Amino acid sequence: MKVALGSDHGGYDLKENIKKLLVELKIEHTDFGSGSTSSCDYSDYAIKVAEAVAHKEYERGILVCGTGIGMSIAANKVKGIRAALVTDMFTAKATREHNNSNVLCLGGRITGPQIALEIVKIWLGTEFEGGRHIRRLDKITDYENK
């Protein structure tokens, strides 16, 4: 699996922790920036990562800003992206099983690193359930393609 990563200044520190985890797990990844805690615009990084996932250059994306909200709003504007803002382990699993989310959004100022890393592990390791959820997602895709 190839993972695209992005953050703004509010998510930079957590993104660095996530990168260490991906190295440990031997998961191929690319950091699309930002490269520091200097103030920047989350929307730039959300769109870069979301487009890389939508174009199938990466299977999944992980985006971190202060709350995760800006990243999720921006990423979900990109056609084919199902970005989920997650703050707990139950949702990390459910959003893969039910929503087939392809981008995970986290809040670096909201979710502590220990919980965030558990969320990442669960989200990366959980498969989409398919079945009735396909019909529901197809309705979103149909709307996107109108």
Active site residues: 65, 98
> How many residues form the binding site for ligand RB5 (CB under 6 A)?
8
Q: How far is the CB of 66 from ligand RB5 (least distance, A)?
A: 3
DSSP 8-state assignment for residue 79: T
Return d(Cα 100, Cα 77) in angstroms, integer.
17
Cis peptide bond upstream of 101, omega within 30:
no
Instruction: Report if residue 94 touches ligand RB5, rule: CB under 6 A.
Output: no
Residues in CB range of 65: below 8 A, 6 or more apart: 7, 8, 10, 11, 42, 46, 71, 105, 107, 108
**Binding map of ligand RB5 across residues 53-92, x = CB under 6 A, - = no contact:** ------------xxx-xx----------------------
Among 4, 5, 10, 84, binds ligand RB5 (CB under 6 A): 10
Residue showing the smallest CB distance to ligand RB5 in the complex? 70
Instruction: From 87, 84, 64, 72, select the one nearest 14 (Cα to Cα).
Output: 64
Among 4, 5, 6, 8, binds ligand RB5 (CB under 6 A): 8
Q: What does the binding site for ligand RB5 look like in residue numbers (CB under 6 A)?
A: 8, 10, 42, 65-67, 69-70
